[in-house]
A and B are shown apart, each in its own frame.
Chain A
């Protein structure tokens, strides 16, 4: 009887021991994850906190609605209207060029491409992802601005940004199309729906949330690009609404130019413009998420 009890006790304590060790490991892993999470969030929080903190000094309605025309080197006035206009136009044009092209390439890769050509195209797209942004700028400078005598313009800037966006849009859209289960395609084929219609009406809507997120990431990435713009948009102090001809300002160029000066008025303008840049990207992202959220709700 006592032997039996001792045995039972031993077993129970063994179980207890194992559970104790597992609980400790579990706790350690949980703590490690939270620490990693905090470490990852600190830079993000710090950047936003610092930018907003420094940017609020100059940020305001006047700042958003005025250009730098007639502002002297030590004057405190001036604003970023011309830069916002330039950034919006350049990024919009870059999206108009790269999004349809990227989507079509992604559709080719995932829905039509076989083994040979598609593999090559995919490799080239991956190589393109690695193009340094300044190289894209140099290319447009040599080819478009100088070679074709087009001069500096918002469009030249948009072309260089489109080169940077294209591979990101293509690869993210391809991954999203790949996630759409084949059963939906087959169900549609079995109804006698032509292939192009299946892609347009079944596959793309099913992947739309992910595709939009990918496009937004690409937009967010190029909105902050500075290097290629130096050689393509060139920068300007004046409101210039025509993106097809003539130097144009943009927010990153503005931040770059202002931050390069030593005076407090310049530094304050740079921070306020940087804060506006973050705001614009966040706003764009929020709008895109709202648009696709409506779609997602529809599915439930």
Chain B
């Protein structure tokens, strides 16, 4: 079920370059937490450190702690592969597996992770229903995933992510490559999914952040090449109506960034 994430003094590095400096925040379960901020401020890097995808990049490392329900995900006893099963992710561009059918894409997480389940058809249906895609694809599950439109592909990616039943769902600008109608569909979906998951979304769209999220974190960086920092983290309504920090206000009112 949905879990809480405590981030304590997290810094992220690419080799010698520091991308994120000293972030401390608590991400509550069954809520949508939005991360906003200008390009290059480390939001995506921060997000990718929550499922240990950051370290896949050669030379990337972190300092600090990330606790998933009190358990340090960077602990020596944690297998990153197993961790990623409980912390799912949806990417900026829809990226269904090109050689697989719609069905196989949704089943991929379970099948390829070695789970043997007889009720795979039920799991796939359940995930596709959950991602609001079932009615559009139920008659062509064997068709290639790339035959779908961009918005459908992104919902397929969400179905693929929730099919493995994670506890946390990370979304890295999931709508930035989509048209407004597909965006709306995915925002509706998020509102539903937050009953079951902890959702963290990175977005460049401030209207979107204010529509979908309960909590908002604002990241920024002092200058190009400097690490990004968390400037403000509070209830979304407060961040957008009376931000505590001048930099947040400048950003959300469009004066910078």
Contact = CB atoms under 8 A, between A and B. Distances in A.
Contact of A191 (B58, B84, B98): B84
Interface string A136-148: 0000000000000
Given A114-B58, A300-B146, A191 B108 contact: yes
B98 A190 contact: no
A186 B161 contact: no
Contact of B95 (A187, A192, A194, A298): A187
A295 interface: yes
Interface string B165-187: 00000000000000000000000
Contacts of A300: 144, 146-147
Contacts, number: 87
A201 B112 contact: yes
Contacts of A295: 99
Contact of A197 (B58, B93, B113, B157): B113
A190 B51 contact: yes
A284 to B, nearest CB: 23
Interface in A176-207: 181, 183-195, 197-198, 201-202, 205-206
Contacts of B144: 298-300
B156 to A, nearest CB: 11
A187 B112 CA distance: 13
Contact of A183 (B58, B93, B109): B93
Interface residues of B, number: 31
A146 B177 CA distance: 65
Given A194-B81, A298-B144, A299-B146, A188 B58 contact: no
Given A191-B161, A192-B109, A202 B51 contact: no
A186 B82 CA distance: 15
Contacts of B93: 183
A187 B91 contact: yes
B88 interface: yes
B97 A184 contact: yes
A265 B79 CA distance: 71
B56 interface: yes
A254 to B, nearest CB: 41
B225 to A, nearest CB: 24
A188 B91 contact: no
Contacts of B194: none
A114 B59 CA distance: 10
A194 B53 contact: no
B164 interface: yes
Interface string B76-88: 0000011111101
Given A186-B56, A188-B112, A190-B161, A206 B85 contact: no
8 contacts: A190-B88, A190-B161, A191-B161, A192-B83, A192-B86, A201-B112, A202-B97, A206-B97
Q: Shortest 7 CB-CB distances between A and B: which pairs?
A: A192-B85, A191-B109, A190-B89, A205-B99, A192-B84, A183-B95, A193-B112
